[in-house]
Amino acid sequence: MTRAEAPAAVEEPSIVAKLSTLDRFLAVWILIAMGVGIGLGRAILGLNDTLAKVEIGGVSLPIALGLLIMMYPVLAKVRYDKLDSVTGDRRLLVSSLLINWIVGPAVMFTLAWVFLSDLPAYRTGLIIVGLARCIAMVIIWNDLACGDREAAAVLVALNSVFQVIAFGLLGWFYLDVLPKWLGLGNGQHLNISVGKIALNVVIFLGIPLIAGFLTRRIGEQKMGRTDYEAKVLPRIGPWALYGLLFTIVILFALQGKTITHQPGDVARIALPLLAYFAIMWFGTFALGKSIGLSYDRTATLAFTAAGNNFELAIAVAIGTFGVTSGQALSGVVGPLIEVPVLIALVYVSLAWRRRFTTAPAAVGATA
């Protein structure tokens, strides 16, 4: 898809008409990828154990590969010369920090205790998911929803810095201090170092960000901006969705047996997650509109608030409580619920574009 400036009501049909087959039937491809992953996990004996062992420093290499392939094309589309307009928008930046680091963890803590008061392991895992703010997959959801690409890059970078600083502190507060204050029982401690969180940020944001920046910088210097956007971006664009589908297959293959053997537990964990995504996305979307943000920045704010860094949450849960723990299962169920829910919210977001008096530049995932 290409950028276009027009009222939302006029622009929408043209966007749909320009969608590629990959874009138009993305929900179908995601469902197929989920089914393939579950099928592989059940059909190939030991596949989940083999995939889980392919890791360095607690980082799954197959998942890392998928996320890097997914993020690189989107970050190569970012107009880095326009970032100043985002960093100057205090409403956007302050709102993002408050929602991600004060509201989000508090909402997940509350939902975890409301829905899983009798299942402490699952409850703890869910709280860890709430503490790990999204720095990877949100890039693709934002792009699919025609959000502000430059704003997404800034917010993801900003939240990455806060993740290194605040994750351990918030983990101590919500798992150890607050339960004692509220008389909910003894707390728990997280075994996670700042270095490990920083490594997670470097791999899932730093590498694709540097690669995307250099690709645009060198491409524009050699070809000019017009040729770069007309010739390079259409070629690398589809790889964002290929990476997404690959990541989904790996995630579901890793937990195919768990999903089918423990459906009741998965359902219990899924309920607070569904409530969390709904509260965070719809609440943040309403906030963005109420403070006067344009559609593209409102969508960006909503998706960066609703998404979570599942890779970090899973790594922390496994490192602290073990690979077969209930905490680890909660971490794994997180993305299994997040993927279909947020792709559904992409369609909701696009439908709501018409409610804004002016539309932003239309941004497609495969342009």
Return the pLDDT at 281. Answer: 96
Return the pLDDT at 22. Answer: 65
Pick the closest to residue 83 from 204, 187, 194, 216 (CA basis): 216
Return the pLDDT at 280. Answer: 96
Return the pLDDT at 21. Answer: 63
CA pair distance 118, 103, nearest whole angstrom: 24
Find out if CATH 1.20.1530.20 is the number for domain 8-355: yes
Return the pLDDT at 247. Answer: 81
Cα radius of gyration (the chain): 20
Return the pLDDT at 19. Answer: 52
Pick the closest to residue 94 from 309, 307, 301, 286 (CA basis): 301
For the stretch 52-65, pLDDT in tens is: 677 766 667 887 78
C-alpha 39 chain-centroid distance:
24
* Torsion region of 355: left, alpha or beta (phi above 0 gives left; psi -120 to 50 gives alpha): alpha
For the stretch 195-218, pLDDT in tens is: 777 777 777 778 888 888 899 899
CA pair distance 125, 326, nearest whole angstrom: 7
Residue ranges of E strands in the chain:
55-56, 59-60
Return the pLDDT at 194. Answer: 63
Return the pLDDT at 277. Answer: 94
Residue 228's H or E segment, with its range, is: none
Rounded to two decimals, the pTM is: 0.78
Return the pLDDT at 9. Answer: 40
Binned average pLDDT, 10 residues per bin, the chain of 367 residues: 39 48 72 85 74 69 82 82 81 93 95 91 91 82 89 87 84 86 72 69 79 90 90 86 84 72 84 95 94 92 90 75 75 82 90 66 42
Residue spans per domain, the chain: 8-355
